[in-house]
Structure 1
Amino acid sequence: MGDRDQNDQDRKRVTGGWRAAPLLGFYRPALVAAGVGLLFSLAGAAAVARWEDRVNRIEFESAAETEAIVMQNGMNEYISRLVALRTLFESANEEITRSEFETFSVRLFERHPGMLRIAWLPRVNRKERAEYEAAAVADGISSYRIKSLQGEGFGVAPQSDEYFPVFYSTQPKTSPVYGMDYATIPERRVALERARDNDRIAGIRTRLYQQREDGRLPDVLVAVPVYAKGTSRETIADRRRNLAGYVVGVFDLPLLMQGIRVTTGANPAISVNIYPPFTGQIISLEEELPDYSSAATAPQSMRDVARDLHWSGHLRIGDTDWQVRAMPTAGGPLEMTYDRAVAVITVGILLTLSLATYLMLASRNSRRLSLANRRVLELAQTDILTGLPNRAFFLARLDELNGELRDRGSTFSIQMLDLDRFKNVNDSLGHGAGDVLLRQVAQRLKSAVRATDVLARLGGDEFAIIQEGCEDQRICSTELAARIAKLVAEPFLLPGHRVEIGTSIGIAIAPDHGSDQEQLLKKADLALYRSKSAGRNCFTIYDEAMSAELEARNTLEGDLRDAIARCQLEVHYQPFMDANNGARRGFEALVRWRHPARGLIPPDQFIALAEETGLIVPLGEFVLRRACADAATWPSGLMVAVNLSPIQFKEADLFDVICAALRDSGLAPHRLEIEITESVLLERGAENHAFMERLKHLGIELALDDFGTGYSSLSYLTAFPFDKIKIDKSFIRNLTHQPRSSAIISSIVTLARGLDMSVTAEGVETSEEYERLKALGINFAQGYLFGRPQPVGQIDLDEPVQSSQRDAA
């Protein structure tokens, strides 16, 4: 109806114009009428020309900005693939081989024609030079030498403290590019140092030192710094010290931009020209040529660009901004023309009709402009990977619904989703597989929701849903959540792999759980946290008890921080016995928290909290130091066992902390036993193995704790230097009435003997269990049968002890 009313008004204006023209002739002489008509024609033509200029300019600038966004997104895609290659180097436990590099690089840039070559530049010091040259020759790069730029060619690089040679490359092995030391090329060296010091991707305009077939020289070089795995990069000094090398990519900018425009269906009405970054030098208006132009004939100088309608912007490549200038394509719909104004002057007597025609065309242009603006808005509110709305759209829609909730009292719910075990897929199969999995998850989620629901990807593996228009919102939410959990739990087929994941869901309902964005998101997150704590792959609706639990948890966390600062923690000790002669062999240190208001708090109520918040690091250091100090006062035959959390193993200074505890207490290293759970060994295998070897070199004993409750991989026993296996108490409890437990314990004892390890049984509570364990061949026993954990002042140190654990074994 609105369009029909507007058309009626337009017709009335046109009819009125026709009536006005004859009336002028009736009341004025012909010359006056002609003069007035000419004046109206000129005024109308001028107004039309100004309006055309403004509308065309706005439409052109909007289209140009859209093209610039598309080109920047395409460039970011190329850069992100180089970052993925860096992630491969920084996350791998072992050195990446040449074949792995070549395979990963080729797959990474399939169907990306703008990438000329990719190279790996390791950081090579003077002592490593010969080793790297020999390794390259052994890999098939004959006559490989580290080379430096000398004039227009390359020669063997002189001795230097540091090199950054091309070691891996996607070039054929016969290419002379291998061994080229970037440190000898001034502009490339500056780019590498800038990337290293800023921990950023550096981009420069460069030339290739191997002539290309098409004869073109200018190209873009992008350098991505790679740091040693697990090292710090907080400060410039850290980054310089921990630099491992660079991933370098060389782009063919014209081919790259052409590929982006073809792939994204670029607007043919826009001609895009890209110029090198501004270097601070004065450039003649007649001399600057573009490095890329989407048109067959590009402007040959800055003067040519400034003379016509154009739009200027930037294309970010690494840390440099290339200049982007767009112009309407010659003969295209966006080229500046004034045909309508000429028509107004030519057909002066039809001025009103001409204006009406122009208004119709202007409306068409306005609609095109509106569509272009809407497209820009969609790009800003859409997740590129999945095509779903993004966080910005989700929050905006949530604000709208909250306003409707206050005005009309309508109800709705939000569901926060987090994928379970998604990190395992990313770590094991790579980020490419993770992206494929996220797209498949998005498709399944779309099939589960209604057209009126809002499904968004918030980032990473987090999704969110807004559901409205239900009579009973609680029932609708639980049905949807159950449907989603079932869909996501079904196997996903990735290229070459079949993976299974799950999803944890938290639900908050408005207005029951809040009437503003912050309240609803917070409570949905609390419900999501409860789902994860409940075992994952389930859903939870928020209730007030969750807020109370969160408040209690926050209070407990604050009290724990104060307890660590005020030394309110205690270390109790539980003995472990020699099963051969019944003599006490040592004590295990167990932390206890004596709260000023709640009394003695057992560890199962605060250890998990300490690990989640990172407080386990100062807490673990306190227990280690106290245990070493107490054990130093015991008879020399008694040992002390201290547990280390997986969180502590990620601390770079853990070895120094252990050495300081031994040094400050005076405890002999062979009297300290470090207990490690299997979860420590699942990550950073090479680093943890090296760390344990350092502990063994000091003389510290190592025990694999809670054996049988985790993966229980036999490879851990052969790959890591353990002295002892501690059998979990769950096997001991079933010992007297489940023959399988006896068989398992017997197998563990036999295995340990073959590997020259001793075995400790935990949780021994009865004499019958103890006698049975001795018959099975265990070396040590620990449990309530021999004593409960007690403060150091209450333990009896007068019982005889064995002189050597190895003798007891």
Structure 2
Amino acid sequence: MGGRDQNDQDRRRRGGWWRAAPLLGLYRPALVAVGVGLLFSIVGAAAVARWEDRVNRIEFENAAETQAIVLQNGMNEYISRLLALRTLFESTNEEVTRSEFETFSARLFERHPGMLRISWLPRINRKERADYEAAAIRDGVSSYHIKALQGESFVIAPQSDEYFPVFYSTQPKTSSVYGMDYTTVPERRAVLERARDNDRVAAMRTRLFGPKDSDRPSYVLVVVPVYAKGTSREEIADRRRNIAGVVVGVFDLPLLIQSIRVTTGASPAVSMTVFPPYTAQIVSLEQMLPDYASAASALRSMRDIARTLHWSGSLKIGDTDWQVRAVPTAGGPLATTYDRAVAVLVVGMLLTLSLSTYLMLASRNSRRLSLANRRVLELAQTDILTGLPNRAFFLTRLDEMNGKLSVRGEPFAILMLDLDRFKNVNDSLGHAAGDALLRQVAQRLKSALRANDVLARLGGDEFAIIQQAGEDQRACSTDLAARIAKLVSEPFLLPGHRVEIGTSIGIAIAPDHGSDQEQLLKKADLALYRSKSAGRNCFTVYDEAMSAELEARNTLEGDLRDAIARCQLEVHYQPFVDALSGERRGFEALVRWRHPTRGLIPPDQFIALAEETGLIVPLGEFVLRRACADAAGWPAELMIAVNLSPIQFKEAELFDMICAALADSGLPPQRLEIEITESVLLERGSENHAFMERLKQLGVELALDDFGTGYSSLSYLTAFPFDKIKIDKSFIRNLTQQPRSSAIISSIVTLARGLDMSVTAEGVETPEEFDRLKALGVNFAQGYLFGRPHPIERILFDAPVKSSRLDAA
């Protein structure tokens, strides 16, 4: 090749054309390099600009969607408080007084700006009109009359078959709003009928009738129907017949949304604009002016917003959807600046000075673009927190592996991982620490895998791996599981903390354990469950014996049925003491199962089974009757506390059963304390409220158990008649080292005092914890410091408790 090139050069020189065009030969490579370099620079810059557009759009849309969810959750909180008023009207046997309405409404919305007024509109027929008008005047609403709206002023309403006037309101009693009949305002009548006929919250955009507010349309009127207690509402005819009235709330929408954004720390990088619902009066998008805009310089017209990068959604208020539009804040971190595109163009033009440098950088830029495009495609299948593939990617890849198995017969294994003690980290250190821990776990897991293995985060603290090892798949899978268990058990360093966890692993191998996705995942889960049952921080390969475990569970269920029928269950008692005096004030009843062959079975092995199978109902009745019978023979100052399962609350005969247990034992109702967990209050709210009121009338005390571990909604404390709050033992752990726990307990005690409730601290194990709790104002304490649960024959009623253990007695 070298000789042939030399001969060509000699022929050119002999031809003379080389000498005739020396400049052309000199600058041709440079001109070609400049042309190619300029072309590639422009193309590269354009591609990077498109990539920047895509990445910025994804980040912006995620931020906007998050903001919209926060707005919706905040709005739902306001609506739920109006529903609490509905519960107040539907749960009581007597008429709610004006004072009760005003007090309850004020407490519900005490720290919730944006609620202008709340009103109660009873359904009044023609014969009742005069009585209601007189009653309002007696309550201090002078010159009260049922009024109709004519134009912009009110007149006394003409005679009609029924009225829905403003009877109670949070407005001053001199306000002109009192007596306004909503049926005389067409648009308000329509929303009232919509709420009544559909048995749901209805809303509309409105203005207020008054000289100061007539030009402001950005108010939202929300209507909550209230039906007569105990009546049917299955059909529309039933609802129209049984409607008792409506609760009406009027929101100042801009103030409400701004309050939600300030409270939740909304991102300033996204500008949110809320437009009213679409109506027939809107001719074009240009006419739609926003009800709210987070930025003063925000685009006003919906058409202007549609011409820019934006995100569209909706804000549901009752049965009406407000239109939400979001745009990146000008100059903010989500605004597209094309910095990378400009950099590529400048660098590309500079690099044209040298062909070799240009080619090197062009290759690098090409690779960056490829990675960017690939990243955009993977976003939909990536877990944002850890950067690992998510469940969708994992299931897709598992389908592909099953396809290869059927075609080529290539075996593979699935490893399901669940972190041990991760919930403790979340509960004690917070979710931020939990997120940091998950990221570190993901990095350790990746370090243990090969390039062709698939690692995914399925959600929470669950991970999954697909491993394809070839011939001895079982040995490779167990070796990998052992390495992972060792890696995860090593300490993790979080900011300010050293955390130790473990992992339980379940392994299923294809085709030995199945050949389709559902089979393999189910068997891997069974193996994982075996690992957890075996003590955690270990791995298990699925085998057919696990099916026998299911059979054993069924056997345990049968034994439990027999135990209830044959009275093999026992009731043990744990004392609780007065925090100030240290004197014993009562006992909590705890069930134990003495199996004829397996011995004493702890409750954590059969309570969940009893709840799943419905056996908790006869089991709970046994515990209640035995506890009442035993307590009847105790000193008169000692209480007996019995915990009721949420499943028992669904039984219609529960109240009769409690009455029978008290009557048969002779125990005064005032000495019985019923403990209720928060999960009971989430369903059948009005029915459960009525049930609790019946218990209160009987004289039974009510305690909210495990406060702080569930939803812990303060509305439960105001809406339900509790006498006591029991603080969960998770707050007591490390009480002397964690100032935050002390602050939380102090807040609970202050809240309880304001609501005339007492407070019991569970799980007290050390004198230091007890001293701290006394200083914080706790009324009662319970835990191993004062005694473990014992059968009744081991309880000494004449022994002082103070700060000694009952066990020592």
TM-score by length of 2: 0.49
TM-score by length of 1: 0.49
